[in-house]
Amino acid sequence: MQLLLAITLLAARALAAHQEHHHDELEDQMPLGYVKYPYQASYPGDNEVTADSIFSGITTFARLPWVQCLTDKSASFDIAFLGAPFDTGTSYRPGARFGPSGIRAGSRRLTLYGGYNVPLETNPFKLLKIVDCGDIPVTPYDNAHAIQQIEDGHKELLHRTPSSALGNDSLTGEPLVPLALDGKHHPRVITLGGDHTIVLPLLRSIYSAYGAISVIHFDSHLDTWKPSVFGGSEGKGIGGGALNHGTYFYWASQEGLIKNGSSIASHGAIRTTLSGPADYENDDNAGFKRIEAREIDTLGVGGIIAKIRETVGDKPVYLSIDIDSIDPAFAPATGTPETGGWSTRELRAIIRGLDGLHIVSADIVEVAPAYDTNAELTTMAAADVLFEVLGVMAKTPLGKIAGKA
């Protein structure tokens, strides 16, 4: 018995020594600057070493830290990326449920050289705490339940306390107060779709903090169609085709989620066919103004930007981007492609032209990676567009000087 006990003790000591030695080896192999649980990804600054192995590790947007925000109620952030893998509201090609993972893959090299945006003269990754919160668990079997899941998931993050305070106005030095109607400072959420149906639950979430909101909508389609025209159902609700990726703005207008007369609908390159002129009349009634894709030939990028800013003014605004606003020559992987759109360069320039607007949250939708090229043209385009959105958001806090309208 004593011999057995002695052998057991010797084996335990040998195992402990081996584990300690193995741990020391791992410590020696850790890369320089390694942080076990970073609150923020480590991005190189000005004149620092860049070009790390961006193709390794778990794929998050721009290699941001993955935080399980929906289950970890203590997680705080200034901007959160959130996937909404829903595509059962499509009318043509499905597949956007894989959009969130595709966009993340397309974003891998966004920060290869550090993340500094040259035209906007800012590095959002250095200014704010930005995280990837993964995806909302969305059911593919029950649209009504899925829509509620998306609203609840977005609202859960929108009503967190941001990591950074509002601070002071950059010109006057006076302290800023929140823009939200509930008087609170909210973080921003950038949602990765998913088909465009997801914007109805997202706007319902936004309404809970900001009330009726102005909308900037880049798309090749109106998305304000009446259910009787697009889906064949007059009845309000999910069933019977009433809510889909062509009617969600109709319902958003009916529910009072959009500021009437101060929104740009489909201005990102409206070029779809219609059932007839009545579709435009219905679009007008929903409170939207349009900029046709072809107008860029006469107005140019600067003229498009001026038209958008004239419409939304300095009010808080929600930004929704359908990847099909870009011509399929540059972004083929989408559910309802339309030729004659804008180039990736033009759309990125127009988004940079929104610098100074109070963008409360945003989304990019209708990316369906199954139709992409081997070179990942569409998912890279989506990621690069969001890089511009990040820069605009980082430069303009969601605050105003007290007493100023």
Annotated binding site: 196, 219, 221, 223, 322, 324
Bond before 231 cis per omega within 30 degrees: no
The angle formed by the CA atoms of residues 235, 241 and 246, to the nearest 5 degrees, is 105
- Which pair of tokens denotes residue 19? 């584990």
**C-alpha Rg value of the chain to the nearest Å:** 24
Number of H helices, E strands in the chain: 10, 10
Strands (E), 186-255: 188-193, 214-218
Tell me the sheet residues that pair with 79.
Answer: 130, 188
Q: CA-CA distance, 335 to 95, in Å (whole number)?
A: 7
Closest-CA residue to 86 (of 78, 95, 77, 75):
95
Partners of 401 in beta bridges:
176
Alpha helices by DSSP H, 134-196: 143-158
Buried b (16+ CB within 10 A) or exposed e, 198-233: bbbbbbbbbbbbbebbbbbbbbbbbbbbbbebbbeb
Detail the residues annotated as belonging to a binding site for Mn(2+).
Answer: 196, 219, 221, 223, 322, 324
Please calculate the CA angle 91-281-322 and round it to the nearest 5 degrees.
40
Q: What is the DSSP letter of 67?
A: -
- Give SS3 for 135: strand
Residue 390 main-chain phi, psi, to 5 deg: -55, -45
Q: Which residues pair with 80 in a beta bridge?
A: 131, 189
- C-alpha distances out from residue 361 to 138, 187, 227, 229, Å: 20, 8, 27, 30
* DSSP secondary structure of 351-385: HHTTTTS-EEEEEEE-B-GGGS-TT-HHHHHHHHH
